[in-house]
Amino acid sequence: MAEQHTPRSLIVSLYGAYGRSPDGAPLAVAELIRLLGVLGVDAPSVRSSVSRLKRRGLLLPRRTAGGAAGYALSDDARMMLVDGDRRIYATEEPRLSDGWVLAVFSVPEAERHKRHLLRSRLARLGFGTAAPGVWIAPARLYEETRHTLERLELSGYVDLFQGAHLGYAPTAEAVARWWDLPSIAALHEEFLAAHEPVLRAWAAAPGTAEDAYRAYLLALDSWRRLPYADPVLPLALLPEDWPGTRSAEVFARLHELLSARGGEFVRGLD
């Protein structure tokens, strides 16, 4: 499946990369239009997507220091981005000894729409299905899971547990049942096909700040989905030649080469 960079997703990636000043200063609407225009997003699409993010409570209308109309991150959006940073920029190798977090939920039939919301949200957090109503993920995802369930007012339906897998099947075999590993591997291969050539080209001949901004934001927008689709399991539990290792290395190198240089274009220094 070809990569799709929607205006709304690109705006989230833009705020995550360059829109989190310590004082919470907003990005002006004109700046959002300029920065998204470089990626081929027209002004009406920017305004429409910002309105959707505003309705979701992620962006708040604020005036810039110069009095221009703009949007700042809400507290919920900031927490969401901070939680995401732990996945997106993770460098530590996962360890089997870290254990697992289990989410066990029960939703009354009268509120079955929340059952669907719970399942979809746990899946988006990277949980696999161990049994009906029992979802599993690496234990390091506990804090983000707790924050997410509380933010969505779903915590009253869920019990969370932490522990080890004791059998009977070998853990590597169980993991292959809990997650669709071939589909996850395909996502990594897709990322590599799109962005590994960019890394090679940039390493051979660096471009302008605008080039760096464009390449980095597209790479970030693609990459930030992967640590949610992929729970990032210990290599001992994964098939040989797992492509997730290489895709993580490619993104880390792109971040190192392009992020700060792209920031020059965002600040109007190019």
In this structure, the strands spanning 100-105 and 134-138 are antiparallel
Whether residue 168 has a cis bond before it, omega within 30° of 0: yes
How much of the chain exceeds pLDDT 70, in percent? 97
Indicate the pTM of the whole model.
0.85
Q: What is the mean pLDDT of residues 238-242?
A: 91
Q: How many of the other CB atoms lie within 10 Å of CB of 129?
A: 16
Residue 249 has a pLDDT of: 94
Q: What is the pLDDT of residues 60-69, one digit of tens each?
A: 999 988 899 9
Q: List b or e across 94-108, with b for residues whose CB sees 16 or more CB atoms inside 10 angstroms.
A: bebeeebbbbebebe
Where does residue 40 rank: exposed (0-12), middle (13-18), buried (19+ CB within 10 A)? exposed
Distances (CA, A) of 147 to 57, 66, 73, 78, 92: 16, 35, 17, 12, 22
Residue 1 has a pLDDT of: 39
Q: How many of the other CB atoms lie within 10 Å of CB of 257?
A: 18
Question: For the chain, how big is the Rg over CA atoms in Å?
Answer: 20
Confidence of residue 261 (pLDDT cuts 50, 70, 90): very high
Torsion sign, CA atoms 242, 195, 40, 69? positive
Residue 209 has a pLDDT of: 95
